Amino acid sequence: KQVSCKCASVEELKQEWEACGDGQLLYRNSKLANILFANELDRRLKGSGVTSNALSPGFIPGTGLSRHQGGRARWFMRWVMPNLPFKFIATVEQGADCIEMVCVAPELEGSGGRYFHLSQDATSSPDSRDEALAARLWALSDTMVAAYLPPSAG
């Protein structure tokens, strides 16, 4: 399930998110929005020489992800999770390597609209490749920032 991008205003979006009541769903949808936005940005920049890619540096327990959780959850994330042998768990250094690779790797020059997970080319979810959803998110984002942009930037 995803939170819709059909809201016409920031107020409507805020109401929808508050009514959701599922922090994990909102977190997942924020990650979906990141990928949708990167893909739409790449489409809009086609032919300009600038590209946009999306990435997931992996699940990095040492980043404060559990800072709003109770003491046991924070302890578990700090001391137990980093030592478990799961492939999806990354160190801060591995996460940084992924970000650096996607930003400056010569072999990615001119290549946009891609998704990388743990520094590997990957296929993102079908929802993240939905061009209509990306366009709606772009329109909502445009509405949200319009008041802060100079008139010529519109």
pTM for this entry: 0.79
Check whether 2 has a pLDDT greater than 60.
no
What pLDDT, on the 0 to 100 scale, is given for residue 10? 65
Q: Is 98 exposed, middle or buried (0-12, 13-18, 19+ CB in 10 A)?
A: buried
- Cβ neighbours of residue 99 closer than 8 Å, sequence gap 6 or more: 55, 57
Q: What's the average model confidence in pLDDT over 26-54?
A: 94
Q: What's the average model confidence in pLDDT over 103-117?
A: 96
| Residue 47 domain-assigned (yes or no) | yes
How much of the chain exceeds pLDDT 70, in percent?
90
- Range(s) of the domain holding residue 70: 10-145
Check whether 77 has a pLDDT greater than 70.
yes
| Residue 153 domain-assigned (yes or no) | no
* Higher per-residue pLDDT: 55 or 83: 55
| Residue 107 domain-assigned (yes or no) | yes
| Residue 5 domain-assigned (yes or no) | no
Check whether 4 has a pLDDT greater than 70.
no
Q: What's the average model confidence in pLDDT over 61-74?
A: 75
* Higher per-residue pLDDT: 15 or 94: 94
DSSP designation for 54: E
* Strands annotated E in the chain: 54-56, 115-117, 120-122
- Which residues form the catalytic set? 27
Q: Can you spell out the DSSP letters for 114-140?
A: -EEETTEEEPPPTGGG-HHHHHHHHHH
Q: Round to whole Å and give the CA distance between 104 and 3.
A: 33
Q: Is 39 exposed, middle or buried (0-12, 13-18, 19+ CB in 10 A)?
A: buried
| Residue 4 domain-assigned (yes or no) | no
Count of structural domains within the chain: 1
Q: What's the average model confidence in pLDDT over 66-73?
A: 76
Q: Round to whole Å and give the CA distance between 79 and 84.
A: 10
| Residue 19 domain-assigned (yes or no) | yes
Check whether 78 has a pLDDT greater than 80.
no
Strand order in the sheet with 54-56: 54-56, 115-117, 120-122
Instruction: Report pLDDT digits (tens) over 6-27.
Output: 556 667 777 777 777 777 777 8
| Residue 3 domain-assigned (yes or no) | no
